[in-house]
Structure 1
Amino acid sequence: MSLRIHFTADDLARITVAPRPDPMWELVNSLHTLQARQAVPEHAPWLRHVRKRLARSDLRGPIRLLTTLVPPAGDLPDFLTPPPHGGGLEAARDLIRATPAARLRSEIASFAGRRKTTPSTWLRRLAEGDRAARQELDGAVLTYFRELLAPQIHLIDAVVQADRAHHGRDVLEGGAERLLNTLSPSIRWEPPTLVADYPRDGDLHLGGRGISLVPSFFCTGRPITLIDPGLPPVLVYPASRRSGFAAPLDGLPELLGRTRAMALCALVSPCATGELARRIGVSIGTASKHASVLRKARLITSTRRGGEVVHALTPLGRELAQGRRGVSWCCGT
């Protein structure tokens, strides 16, 4: 089954690629990952981080609330993923909080109908526009993002930025059609239609509106779009993890060990030992040991600042971490 996205000449001129990870698309896609029976290897560091957080904090309430709206697979209400914007999570939360009551009722009713389930008491309250229910949803979004996504955002951002760099070269070398033909193995360009593997057959006519392409770290396999064709068109697709751009360094994880290689990559942005531990999903003691080995190999420097030790890459460490073309390989396959 396929989703067919129909382009006009105007649409080809109005394609945009998100400049950074979209917070709400990453949030809902990560919830799919969290509920999956089997995760892809690229998400293993994040899942380790989640397990450690769950052992220390009571996050099951916010997760339970969010999974009421985000099932393991399938559609979710469009209001959870407002149009791409540059305002980050705060702007997205503002848009979600401002969702008109009529839209909440309509989308939640359709969602429950597709799931063939009876809405929970909380979901019925939300559909009715109950202020407390809206606040509970906003609190769950903020807590989930702050505790489970923000500490790993450098890994998410590295993959999305690498994907954007790849596709920037595609546009320079072959224009919009080259871009559309190289998005993902599950997407193919059959002019003037973009055909994507999808859970059901459907057509989306852009009609000159253009489309926002959103690479996502947590999106795997098939791309995702909105349910309502009247909303600004968007296609969320798996961020590329092409290994060809760093081929001379592909053996580095085997040389250093995967976790130590991840630590090297995580230090593209300098940080203290505790933050390094959060970034790669290990204990502070383990992070300190990895930093010590990297320091002895002259790949990083460590400087005491007050009560913390801050680690940063040396020129050699940066070259290894980013590869000869400046593309991070730390989350590559």
Structure 2
Amino acid sequence: MALRIHFTADDLARTTVAAGPDLMWELVNSLHILQAQQTASGYAPWLRHVRDRFARRDLRGPIRLLTTLVPPQGNFPDFLTPSGEGNISAARDLIRATPAARLRAELARHFGRHTPPPWFRRLAQGDRAARQELDDAVATYFRELLAPQLHLIENPVHTDRAHHSRNVLDGGTERLLNTLSPSISWEPPTLIADYPRDRDLHLRGRGISLVPSFFCTGRPVALIDPSLPPVLVYPVGRHPRPVDTLAGLPELLGRTRAMALYALTPPCSTGELALRIGVSIGTVSKHASILRGAGLITSTRRGCTVVHALTSLGRELVRGWPHPRPRLPARSQSSS
């Protein structure tokens, strides 16, 4: 069975790859991993963290609520993954603002002929307390189980995006589509992906957002409603890393400069780099000057913005060491 995504020339021109992890997609996909009987070894560090949190906190309520919406396999409501939101706070805002009519339609489709529990009936009716309880569950799950391990997600997602950026430069969008994942093939003008059922999605000039996901396993995932902005979530490639010869890089360069090096995949402006590593713009400028002097980054002015990028030496250093855990912005750790 397959998902067939039909492209026009306009769709090829409007195909994009997400700039970083989409945290609600990662949250939903991690719920599949949490409920799986067997998981790939790459998820073992995260599962150890989950077991540790379970031993310290009673998370049964939020987990039970979320796994009722997101079963081990099969469909889940589209409103849980609002389009294009890498920021968890913004995504939660959009989920809370879901129109009641859409909640009713998607929950009815989710439960089908089964009678939903009373709480979900209240949610479908747009009950404010039920919406708040869902938001609390999302916030708690993210804060306890994902935020402390966010580096496990960010590293492979940014590496995958950089890999595909080179494919676009070398061969255009069609080269990108042909190298996304072993479970996806490009047979012009159709992208064909392994899928639980046969389905056709016609883009009709809207383009599509490709979202690499750490927690997505073998099969890609798409939104159910074809009228929503098209999205295809696919598993990140497991690109090989060189032997770890510089595990002590933070001690060599200092933690902040080491974090800055890692965070420059992909390249970004001074302000964006400050947000990524949780320091001031002035601090970033100071450390960027040192890294530039060492030949590890380049800095290019584009109008009023300075964009920093890794040099070939900088990329080799980043590939060879396990980066320090980033300091998360306070807003990403907030509950409701």
Report the TM-score when normalising by structure 2. Answer: 0.75
Matches of 2:141 and 2:34, distance apart in 1 = 12
Query: How many Å separate the matches in 2 of 1:192 and 1:325?
Result: 39
CA-CA distance at 1:328 after TM superposition: 6.5
* Code of the aligned partner of 2:316: R
Deviations 1:209-235 (A, max 9, x none): 000000000001000000000000000
Deviation at 1:85, TM superposition (A): 3.2
Of 142, 163, 166, the match for 1:166:
163
TM superposition shift of 1:329: 7.5
State how far apart, in whole Å, the 2-side matches of 1:212 and 1:4 are.
15
Aligned to 1:229: 226
Amino acid at match of 2:111: A
1:175-232 deviation line (CA, Å, top 9, x unaligned) = 0001000100000000000000000000000000000000000001000000000000
Q: Work out the number of aligned pairs and report it.
A: 271
Q: Is the 8 A contact 1:162 1:327 kept in 2?
A: no
Q: Which amino acid aligns with 2:96?
A: R
| Aligned equivalents of 1:93, 1:328: Cα separation in 2 | 35
Mapping 1:275-294, distance limit 5 Å: none
For 1:143 and 1:269, the matched residues in 2 are separated by 32
Distance 1:171 1:269, change over 3 A: farther
1:204 counterpart residue number: 201
Alignment deviations for residues 226-250 of structure 1 (CA, whole Å, 9 cap, x no partner): 000000000000011111xx3xx24
Partner of 1:217: 214
* Residue 126 to residue 268, structure 1, CA distance change in 2 (3 Å): farther
Matched, 1:3 2:3: yes
Give the aligned partner of residue 17 of structure 1. 17
Contact conserved, 1:15 with 1:210, CA < 8 A, in 2? yes
**C-alpha separation between the residues in 1 aligned to 2:28 and 2:322?**
23
- 1:326: how far off? 3.8
Q: 1:84 to 1:54 in 2, by over 3 A?
A: same
- 1:330 offset after TM fit, Å? 5.5
Residue aligning to 2:92: 93
Equivalent positions of 1:1-333 (< 5 A) are 1-85=1-85, 88-113=87-112, 116-243=113-240, 246=241, 249-250=242-243, 252=244, 270=255, 324=316, 326-327=318-319
- Structure 1's consecutive aligned runs of 4 or more residues displaced over 3 angstroms after TM superposition are 267-271, 325-331
Q: 1:85 to 1:264 in 2, by over 3 A?
A: same
**CA spacing shift, 1:329–1:219, aligned 2, 3 Å:** farther
Q: Do the aligned partners of 1:158 and 1:328 also contact (CA within 8 Å) in 2? A: no
* Unmatched segments (≥5 aa) in structure 2: 257-293, 295-313, 324-336
Are 1:159 and 1:328, in contact at CA under 8 Å, matched by a contact in 2? no
CA RMSD of aligned residues (A): 2.8
Instruction: Quote the Cα distance in structure 2 between the aligned partners of 1:327 and 1:49.
Output: 24
Query: Match of 1:324, SS?
Result: helix
SS of 1:235 mapped into structure 2: strand
Unmatched segments (≥5 aa) in structure 1: 272-314, 316-321
**Whole-angstrom distance in 2 between the partners of 1:186 and 1:268:** 40
The aligned residue for residue 301 of structure 2 is none
DSSP-derived class of the 1:139 partner = helix
